[in-house]
Amino acid sequence: MSATTVVPQLVQILRTLVTTGYSTEHSISGVSDPFLQVQILRLLRILGRNHEESSETMNDLLAQVATNTDTSRNAGNAVLFETVLTVMDIRSAPGLRVLAVNILGRFLLNNDKNIRYVALTSLLRMVQSDHSAVQRHRPTVVECLRDPDASLSRRALELSLALVNSSNVRAMTQELQSFLESCPPDLRADCASGILLAAERFAPTKRWHIDTILRVLTTAGTYVRDDAVANLTQLIGGAQELHAYSVRRLYSALAEDISQQPLVQVAAWCIGEYGDLLLEGSCEETEPLQVEEEEVLALLEKVLQSHMSLPATRGYALTALMKLSTRLRGDSSRIRQVVSIFGSCLDVELQQRAVEYNTLFRKYDHMRAAILEKMPLVERGGPQVDGEAEESKETQLSETALVSTEPQASKLLDLLDLLDGTSGDAQPPPLLDPSPGGTLIHLLDLPCAPPPPPSIPDLRVFEREGLQLSLSFVRPPGTPALLLITVTATNTSGADVTHFICQAAVPKSFQLQLQAPSGDTVPAQDGLPVTQLLRILNPNKAPLRLKLRLTYNHFGQSVQEIFEVNNLPVETWQ
Amino acid sequence: MRFMLLFSRQGKLRLQKWYLATSDKERKKMVRELMQVVLARKPKMCSFLEWRDLKVVYKRYASLYFCCAIEGQDNELITLELIHRYVELLDKYFGSVCELDIIFNFEKAYFILDEFLMGGDVQDTSKKSVLKAIEQADLLQEVR
């Protein structure tokens, strides 16, 4: 006999309870025995969950409870809420679902915060299944955004974001943006990313999209996610017709405020790329803005020197200045000056860039225009959305083109220089590393990079009952006396190895540094191995001797092993 | 319900009832955390909050906070009623209950709670029968 046969009885009990069963000692403020009602409703919910027949039996009763319960006090609201939850979960008739949504809508208008909170939470759950019904209550939800209670506004924010669709996107974004301006800091990140996501999905026009992102960046720039910058640059790059408009908007925004890093980064990039559009004539879509070359340069210099700018932002600004040297009609002596100042900057990244750009001015002036051309459109979702990678690809292309015309070079010195440059370029990197502009290193790195270090074979040093220890060696090319050993412990047995500690000892002339291990448990059956890094400095190039001490628990016993590592390859210390 | 806590405005725990087995260390940690969160709430804020993976329903009566941690599918509004019912029971038993009554007669408070709730759910929905059961238990007890 399955539990669902009990449903008719439950329905009967609840019906009598609601209609006639009133007893003073069991009831709360006019509602007969709300605890019992809630429990019955909950049971009905579980029974009717995937069961058509039971759900049908319940339909009438639920409608009756929903309409007859007195909602002036919390007890009645509690019963009503449980009814709504039950309706949502069983296979109810569509009319009943609409009734449930309406009840929740009524809850939203209630003055009691608790009830509003509960209503918002349930509506969030319902928004997937009954989207259109919930949409009707959108204005009330937006009202709740402005509530001073933090938990309420958080719920309202989540629900509002779920309710955005293509027809109401403009109005909703407006509301959300005014919320963003006044909301507490912990909600800002969510709100900002929510707005950006909604804009991405439902943007009616590209211009609106750019405007929205711009507004979000100016209001809550520090809270946006990191890829917002990349997204925006890619978006602007793709909207050919809006280049002039975007660069003007960004320029005015930047002129007002240089503290919001993502905004500064995007603005710097744009000004660099489309500087010529900024300076020439007027654009119909914004008010006429007469910008002088000097002003643009001054602004970028201000960004470079401001203590609020992150190193990444400074990088963007420096590159933008460089690009402007080809775009602007005036002479580039001011730019050269700034770039050479940064040649002695403490930040390695900036210094590198500045030195390269300087070289570009001095020796490769004939290539400068080609290198600093406008970037082609970046691939969305490619391995590196950062525009700097594209730039380096361009520079490589122009470089190889120049090499093919090399035979005409008049000076021997130039020939040798260029050969060195290309061999430097042939090294593995154009690696797509995350730091912007990092790939430019290898193009203009005139001295040859040393050959990659020969790899030393791994050594298996210890094996006991399924626990194996192996060492892998690395000799970094830059530091001849340094040896890095990675100790890896793997477990092929059936029991876990716990409390695993590995200690090492070396002769007196060596310096040993043990870094923290990745863990102290090696799970059984080839679970995740534990690794530990050892750094050994060997300034005298003495023969390496290594003693290892292991303590661990395995198969319920504690094990201690001390042994010397034999057969260390000669390359580890020579 | 997972657990119920009673604590004062000053952060002193007066009563704790756990309906799920947790280690002592774990309990202390949870109590500390939850007290911090609840005491930081402003008076006009709503009575529900989300904490870890549970919902916490709290209500303040004079200087005492009554805190219940319920699970995802439980009804918050009925939990508020539950808290109120418990307070009413205490009130009826002690006659205009105050925090001192609970401090000095904490074992009675626990008895009443156990009579009312079992395993986190309401055992008896009638106020009268709960109070009657307590009275009978009192009769059995020796009066000093």
What is the pLDDT averaged over residues A118-131?
A: 84
The sign one gets for the Cα dihedral A441, A447, A450, A452 is: positive
Residue A355 has pLDDT above 80, yes or no: yes
The ipTM value here is 0.91
Q: Which of A124-128, A146-150, A220-224, B57-61 has the highest mean pLDDT?
A: B57-61
Residue A122 has pLDDT above 50, yes or no: yes
The residues pairing with A502 across neighbouring beta strands, listed in sequence order, are A550
More confidently predicted of A366 and B37: B37
Bridging pattern class, strands B48-51 and B3-8: unpaired
Which of A75, A85, A149 is nearest residue B81 as measured by Cβ atoms?
A75
Query: Is the CB of B78 inside 8 Å of chain A's CB atoms?
Result: yes
Residue A445 has pLDDT above 60, yes or no: no
| % pLDDT > 90, chain A | 2
What is the pLDDT averaged over residues A286-314?
A: 77
Least confident of A338-342, B78-82, B91-95: A338-342
Tell me how far CA of residue A50 lies from CA of A1, A54, A81, A100, in angstroms. Answer: 17, 9, 21, 19
Residue A359 has pLDDT above 90, yes or no: no
> Which B residues, 32 through 51, put their C-beta within 8 Å of a C-beta on chain A?
44-50
Question: Is B75 within 8 Å of A28 when comparing Cβ atoms?
Answer: no
| pTM recorded for the entire structure | 0.62
For residue B143, the model assigns a pLDDT of: 64
CA distance A41 to chain B (A): 11
Q: Residue A251 and residue A73: Cα distance in Å, rounded?
A: 58
Summarize pLDDT for A460-499 with one digit per residue, the tens.
888 888 888 888 888 877 777 788 888 888 888 878 888 8
Q: Are A65 and A28 within 8 A, CB to CB?
A: no
Question: Is B46 within 8 Å of A151 when comparing Cβ atoms?
Answer: yes
For residue B69, the model assigns a pLDDT of: 94
Question: Is B45 within 8 Å of A116 when comparing Cβ atoms?
Answer: no
Question: Is A114 within 8 Å of B47 when comparing Cβ atoms?
Answer: yes
For residue A544, the model assigns a pLDDT of: 81
Predicted confidence band at B17 (pLDDT cuts at 50, 70, 90)?
Answer: very high
Query: Is the CB of B141 inside 8 Å of chain A's CB atoms?
Result: no
For residue A414, the model assigns a pLDDT of: 41
Q: Residue A335 and residue A254: Cα distance in Å, rounded?
A: 19
For residue A384, the model assigns a pLDDT of: 36
Task: State both tokens at A252.
Answer: 């005015």
Best mutation target among A144, A151, A152, A158 (most B Cβ atoms within 10 Å) is A151
For residue A442, the model assigns a pLDDT of: 43
Residue A550 has pLDDT above 70, yes or no: yes
Question: Is A35 within 8 Å of B76 when comparing Cβ atoms?
Answer: no
Question: Is A78 within 8 Å of B81 when comparing Cβ atoms?
Answer: yes
Predicted confidence band at A281 (pLDDT cuts at 50, 70, 90)?
Answer: low
Predicted confidence band at B144 (pLDDT cuts at 50, 70, 90)?
Answer: low
For residue A289, the model assigns a pLDDT of: 67
Predicted confidence band at B81 (pLDDT cuts at 50, 70, 90)?
Answer: very high
A75: chain B residues, CB-CB within 8 Å: 81
What is the pLDDT averaged over residues A449-453?
A: 49
Which of B49, B50, B75 is nearest residue A38 as measured by Cβ atoms?
B75
Half-sphere exposure in the Cβ direction for A467 (13 Å, CA)? 22
For residue A285, the model assigns a pLDDT of: 61
Question: Of how many residues is chain B composed?
Answer: 144
For residue A322, the model assigns a pLDDT of: 81
Question: Is B78 within 8 Å of A34 when comparing Cβ atoms?
Answer: yes
A34: chain B residues, CB-CB within 8 Å: 78, 81
Tell me how far CA of residue B110 lies from CA of A26, A474, B89, B105, B122, in angstroms. Answer: 22, 66, 12, 9, 15
For residue B33, the model assigns a pLDDT of: 94
Domain ranges of chain B: 3-143
Residue A341 has pLDDT above 90, yes or no: no
Q: Residue A86 and residue A45: Cα distance in Å, rounded?
A: 5
Residue A440 has pLDDT above 70, yes or no: no
A42: chain B residues, CB-CB within 8 Å: 75
CA distance A73 to chain B (A): 10
Summarize pLDDT for A67-81 with one digit per residue, the tens.
888 888 888 899 999
Architecture of the B3-143 domain: 2-Layer Sandwich (3.30)
Which of B77, B85, B121 is nearest residue A114 as measured by Cβ atoms?
B77
Q: What is the mean pLDDT of chain A?
A: 77
Least confident of A336-340, A439-443, B72-76: A439-443
Question: Is B77 within 8 Å of A152 when comparing Cβ atoms?
Answer: no
Residue A1 has pLDDT above 70, yes or no: no
Which of A26, A35, A148 is nearest residue B78 as measured by Cβ atoms?
A35
Residue A390 has pLDDT above 50, yes or no: no
Question: Is B81 within 8 Å of A26 when comparing Cβ atoms?
Answer: no
CA distance A194 to chain B (A): 21
B89: chain A residues, CB-CB within 8 Å: none
Angle at A40 between CA A38 and CA A42, to 5 degrees: 70
For residue A137, the model assigns a pLDDT of: 85
The residues pairing with A511 across neighbouring beta strands, listed in sequence order, are A537
Predicted confidence band at B114 (pLDDT cuts at 50, 70, 90)?
Answer: very high
Predicted confidence band at A283 (pLDDT cuts at 50, 70, 90)?
Answer: low
From B57, which residue of chain A is nearest by alpha-carbon distance? A114
Range list of H helices, A373-524: 387-404, 412-425, 440-443
**Residues sharing a CB contact under 8 Å with residue A447, sequence separation 6 or more, in sequence order:** A420, A424
B85: chain A residues, CB-CB within 8 Å: 28, 35
Residue type, A548: L
Q: How many Cβ pairs closer than 8 A exist between chain A and B?
A: 70
A36: chain B residues, CB-CB within 8 Å: 125
